Amino acid sequence: NAGVTQTPKFRVLKTGQSMTLLCAQDMNHEYMYWYRQDPGMGLRLIHYSVGEGTTAKGEVPDGYNVSRLKKQNFLLGLESAAPSQTSVYFCASSALYEGWVVIRNYNEQFFGPGTRLTVL
Amino acid sequence: DAKTTQPNSMESNEEEPVHLPCNHSTISGTDYIHWYRQLPSQGPEYVIHGLTSNVNNRMASLAIAEDRKSSTLILHRATLRDAAVYYCIAHGGFKTIFGAGTRLFVKA
């Protein structure tokens, strides 16, 4: 059981280049998330998904696109990288708890090891 | 989701208890209080959560004020491996908003 894995671990891009970050989870979780973390700051939610084929915007979605074609994978794309996108990117997943639409339930998130991206 | 306020940093001696405070004065009645921690160069990991009652697990204890406007994460005996950034989050949905957290320094 690998949990949440992220590919690649490190990447250096030039301004204007594109790339895709891959997140995979083997826990059959419904929810998946992409965060970015800048130096000395907490995590900020970029996009998230509540199930296969669905995605939604988080706090800082501009400049990113996502896709969830398979339940176990969540892809984060940068179409035209900018230096402001230099950051560490974390993927996370969490389970769907029965009855969450009735009462707000807790939702433990499992995080991947992160991808360190530098845009020059 | 309720805004949380935590001290920027705290310091502890090894093998002593640590009390990490968090204020969440705008918490709603169905918002859970979660704590995560982030070790250096790793992703965050879940520590504990609670709603109204105090909670204990193998990692820590969570003490929740009666009015739920504040909570305290308690590490009973700090070790060097507990040096990390601790995040307090109060939310009810599946989206988690992380603040800057409290950086805990543990001295040998």
Helix, strand, coil percentages, rounded to 5, for chain B: 5, 50, 50
Q: How far is B14 from chain A (nearest CA, A)?
A: 24
Q: Do B46 and A108 touch (CB under 8 A)?
A: yes
Q: What is the mean pLDDT of chain A?
A: 89
Q: How far is A58 from chain B (nearest CA, A)?
A: 8
Is the predicted pLDDT of residue A53 greater than 90, yes or no? yes
Give the per-residue pLDDT at A109: 86
Q: Do A35 and B42 touch (CB under 8 A)?
A: no
pLDDT in tens, B40-87: 989 999 999 888 889 898 889 999 999 999 999 999 999 999 999 999
Of B42, B95, B100, nearest to A48 by CB-CB distance is: B95
Give the per-residue pLDDT at A106: 55
Q: What percent of chain A has pLDDT over 90?
A: 72
Q: Which residues, at least 6 apart from B11, have a Cβ–Cβ distance to it below 8 Å?
A: B104, B105, B106, B107
Is the predicted pLDDT of residue B97 greater than 90, yes or no? no
Strand B84-91 and strand B32-38: the pairing is antiparallel
Cα distance between residue A31 and residue A104, in whole Å: 15
